[in-house]
Amino acid sequence: MIRYTAARLLQAIPVLLVVATVTFALLRLLPGGPFDREKALPPVILANIEARYHLDEPVARQYARYLAGLVRGDFGPSYKYPGRDVADILRDSFPVSIQLGAAALVLAMLLGVGAGLAAGMRAGTLQDRAIIGLTLLGISVPSFVLGAALVLGVALRFGWPPAGLWESPAYALLPALTLAAFPTAYIAQLTRTSVIEVAGRDFVRTARAKGVSEARVRWVHVLRNALLAVVTYFGPLLAMLLTGSFVVEQIFAIPGMGRFFVTAVTNRDYPLVMGVTLVYAALIVLSNLAVDLVYGWLDPRIRLAGDES
Amino acid sequence: MSEPVLSVRGLRTTFSTDAGVLPAVDGVDLELHAGETLCVVGESGCGKSVTALSILRLLPEPPASIEAGEVIFDGCNLLELSNAELRKIRGSRIAMVFQEPMTSLNPVFSVGSQIDEALKIHTDLTRQGRRERVEELLTLVGIPAPAERYRDYPHQLSGGMRQRVMIAMALSCEPAVLIADEPTTALDVTIQAQILELLASLQERFHMAVLLITHDLGVVAETANRVAVLYAGRVVETGTVYEIFGAPRHPYTVGLMKAMPGRSVGHRAPLHVIPGVVPDLRDRPEGCSFRERCPRADAVCAEMDPELEAWGAESAVACHHPYVDERPAGEGG
Ligand SMILES: Nc1ncnc2c1ncn2[C@@H]1O[C@H](COP(=O)(O)OP(=O)(O)OP(=O)(O)O)[C@@H](O)[C@H]1O
Ligand code: SF4
Ligand SMILES: [Mg+2]
Q: Which residues pair with B65 in a beta bridge?
A: B14
Interchain pair A299, B121: CB under 8 A? no
- How far is ligand 1, taken at its centre, from the CA of residue B49, in Å? 7
* Shortest CA gap A205–chain B (Å): 7
Which segments in chain A show pLDDT lower than 50? 306-309
Distance, in Å, from the CA atom of A12 to the CA atom of B105, rounded to the nearest integer, reads: 37
- Cis peptide preceding B63, ω within 30 of 0: yes
Q: Looking at residue B280, what DSSP letter applies?
A: P
Say which of A206, A213, A214 has its CB closest to residue B98: A206
Nearest CA in chain A to B59: A205
* β-pair partners for B14: B23, B65
Global pTM? 0.79
For residue B30, report the phi and psi dihedrals to the nearest 5 degrees. -145, 150
Instruction: Give the residue extent of every domain in chain A.
Output: 19-71, 93-308
Identify the pLDDT of residue B178. 93
Distances (CA, A) of A52 to A31, A39, A92, B46: 21, 21, 25, 86
The tens digit of pLDDT for each residue in A61-105 reads 888 888 888 888 888 888 888 788 888 888 888 888 888 888 888
- At residue B15, φ and ψ (nearest 5 deg) are -120, 135
Does the beta carbon of A200 lie under 8 angstroms from any beta carbon of chain B? yes
Residue A18, pLDDT score: 92
Interface probe, candidates B53, B108, B167, chain A, greatest A C-beta count within 10 A: B108
Burial environment of residue B293 by CB neighbours within 10 A (0 to 12, 13 to 18, 19 or more): middle
Residue A302: the pLDDT is 75
Who lines ligand 2 at CB under 6 A? B 251, 288, 290-291, 294, 296-297, 301, 306, 319-321
Radius of gyration of chain B (CA): 20
Any ligand 1 atom below 6 A from CB of B14:
no
User: Nearest C-alpha of chain B: how many angstroms from A197?
Assistant: 13
pLDDT recorded at residue B265: 47
pLDDT at A305: 53
- Determine, for residues B122 and A299 on separate chains, whether the beta-carbon distance falls below 8 Å: no
State whether A201 and B108 contact (CB < 8 Å).
no
Sequence-ordered alpha helix ranges (H) in chain B: 48-55, 83-89, 111-122, 127-140, 146-149, 159-171, 189-206, 217-223, 241-246, 251-259, 299-303
Q: What whole-number distance in Å separates Cα of residue B204 and Cα of residue A59?
A: 84
Please give the CATH architecture assigned to the domain spanning A93-308: Orthogonal Bundle (1.10)
Tell me the one-letter amino acid at B136: E
Residue A81, C-beta contacts closer than 8 angstroms, at least 6 positions apart: A89
Are A209 and B107 in contact (CB < 8 Å)? Answer: no
> Which of B292, B321, B324, B325 best tests ligand 2's pocket when mutated (most atoms within 8 Å of CB)?
B321
Phi, psi of B73 (to 5 degrees): -135, 125
Chain A contact set for B53 (CB, 8 A): 205
Q: From the centroid of its chain, how far is CA A235?
A: 8
| Interhelix angle A143-150/A234-251, nearest 10 degrees | 50
Gap between the Cα atoms of B58 and B55, Å rounded: 8
Q: Which residue type, as a one-letter code, is found at position B212?
A: L
What pLDDT score was predicted for residue A51?
Answer: 80
CA of B45 to the centre of ligand 1 (A): 5
Q: What does each of the 333 residues of chain B score in pLDDT, given as a tens digit?
A: 567 889 999 999 999 888 888 888 888 999 999 889 999 998 888 899 999 999 999 998 888 888 888 999 988 998 988 989 999 999 999 999 998 888 999 998 999 999 999 999 999 889 999 999 999 889 888 888 888 889 899 988 888 888 889 989 998 988 999 999 988 877 777 778 888 888 888 888 888 999 999 888 888 888 889 999 999 889 999 988 888 888 888 888 888 887 766 544 455 545 446 777 777 777 777 888 888 888 887 888 888 888 888 887 788 888 888 888 654 444 443
Atom of ligand 2 nearest to the CA of B298: 2
Spatial separation of the C-alpha atoms in residues A123 and A42, rounded to whole Å: 70
Q: Which residues of B touch A228 (CB under 8 A)?
A: 108
Q: Is B184 in the pocket of ligand 1 (CB under 6 A)?
A: no
